[in-house]
Amino acid sequence: MKERTATIASRVGLHARPAAIFVEAAAELPVDVTISMQGEPAEDALDASSILSLMGLGAAHGDVVVLRAEGDGADEALETLVQILETDHDA
């Protein structure tokens, strides 16, 4: 399983517009991706393509999250999602 961390750049965290952009991208990927707050057990990770899961995560500006994916294309998928999370979509 591949794993990457990302720091939330959007000033409002993963809410509204940033969450919608992230979920749309995650849903289009060829692999399943999970997301969790850094320090949480991997088994508590949530579906990254679910807007409800993402909003429930409660990730704020500056928080670090962990993305995990497995299978062909996992590295590329994680890189795409890290770039989204590390961009301030509220600017």
Q: Write the pLDDT tens digit of every residue in 8-46.
A: 999 999 988 999 999 999 999 999 999 999 999 999 999
Q: Report if residue 71 sits inside a domain.
A: yes
Q: Report if residue 64 sits inside a domain.
A: yes
Q: What's the domain range around 45?
A: 2-85
Distance from C-alpha of 72 to C-alpha of 37, rounded to nearest angstrom: 24
Tokens standing for residue 74: 């996992």
What's at 58, amino acid-wise? Answer: G
Q: Report if residue 91 sits inside a domain.
A: no
Distance from C-alpha of 48 to C-alpha of 61, rounded to nearest angstrom: 18
Distance from C-alpha of 27 to C-alpha of 9, rounded to nearest angstrom: 21
Query: Catalytic pick from 7, 12, 15, 82?
Result: 15
Q: Report if residue 90 sits inside a domain.
A: no
- Check whether 91 has a pLDDT greater than 80: no
Q: Tell me if residue 89 is catalytic.
A: no
- Predicted TM-score (pTM) of this structure: 0.95
CATH code of 61's domain: 3.30.1340.10
Residue with tokens 């704020």: 60
* Average confidence (pLDDT) over 52-58: 92
Q: How many domains does the chain have?
A: 1
What's at 4, amino acid-wise? Answer: R
Distance from C-alpha of 31 to C-alpha of 64, rounded to nearest angstrom: 22
